């Protein structure tokens, strides 16, 4: 496995490229981890496949996994009664979702559905807890990377809200 940092720096933080048989590709989630740490993390993952329209994450259910998209696409939807509101589409290998389960203990905040055949790496919370216990630096690095991505998402959401208000 080859791990290469891309644009890691104060002004151009971007991510990690992973060249491997597992098809992860690029994931900003893994910035700052060593090859050995990435391998340990990947050993905790389960490969899962989903068909078109299949529910991967259900809103208001307990948070129990972090996911990295390896192939295909997913739609993030917020359910309000019988209405489903599309929030985002993730279609790049290496994008991740379910990360809030590592930050808070609240139920899932949205549904996530497969758009066509989709493959993910699922990191069950229990397996991650074991990895974090053995390597606290991995936990710190993942939480920092998740925080950066959540910050970017919040900034984008604020910009969209401002556009709608104008």
Residue 33 pLDDT more than 90? no
Confidence of residue 19 (pLDDT cuts 50, 70, 90): very low
- The CATH classification number of 2-165 equals 2.60.120.10
Task: Tell me the C-alpha distance between 131 and 137, whole Å.
Answer: 10
Confidence of residue 42 (pLDDT cuts 50, 70, 90): confident
Residue 123 pLDDT more than 50? yes
Residue 18 pLDDT more than 60? no
Q: What is the pLDDT of residues 126-163, one digit of tens each?
A: 999 999 999 899 999 999 999 998 898 899 889 989 99
pLDDT at 47: 92
Quote the percentage of the chain above a pLDDT of 90: 53
Instruction: Confirm if 15 and 7 have CB atoms less than 8 A apart.
Output: yes
Task: Copy the structure tokens of residue 157.
Answer: 């959401």
Task: Tell me the C-alpha distance between 41 and 131, whole Å.
Answer: 7
pLDDT at 17: 43
Q: Given the DSSP bridges, would you call strands 111-114 and 118-124 parallel, antiparallel or unpaired? A: unpaired
Cβ neighbours of residue 37 closer than 8 Å, sequence gap 6 or more: 135, 137, 138, 141
pTM for the full model?
A: 0.80
Q: Where are the domains of the chain?
A: 2-165
Task: Copy the structure tokens of residue 149.
Answer: 């991505």
Cβ neighbours of residue 108 closer than 8 Å, sequence gap 6 or more: 57, 58, 59, 60, 61, 62, 63, 98, 101
Instruction: Give the angle 75-114-73 at the CA atoms, nearest 5°.
Output: 70
| Between residues 25 and 79, the one the model is more confident about | 79
């Amino acid at each position: 496995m080859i791990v290469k940092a891309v644009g890691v720096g104060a002004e151009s933080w971007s991510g990690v490229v992973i060249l491997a048989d597992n098809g992860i590709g690029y994931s900003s989630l893994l910035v700052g981890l060593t090859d050995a740490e990435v391998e340990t993390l990947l050993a905790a993952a389960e490969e899962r496949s989903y068909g078109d329209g299949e529910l991967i994450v259900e809103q208001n259910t307990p948070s129990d996994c972090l996911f990295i998209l390896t192939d295909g696409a997913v739609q993030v939807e917020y359910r309000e009664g019988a209405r489903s509101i599309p929030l985002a589409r993730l279609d790049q290998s290496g994008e991740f979702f379910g990360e809030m389960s590592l930050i808070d203990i609240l139920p899932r905040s949205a549904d996530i559905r497969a758009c066509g055949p989709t493959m993910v790496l699922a990191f069950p919370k229990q397996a991650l807890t074991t990895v974090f216990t053995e390597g606290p630096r991995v936990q710190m690095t993942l939480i920092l990377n998740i925080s950066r991505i959540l910050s970017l998402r919040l900034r984008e959401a604020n910009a969209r809200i401002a556009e709608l208000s104008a």
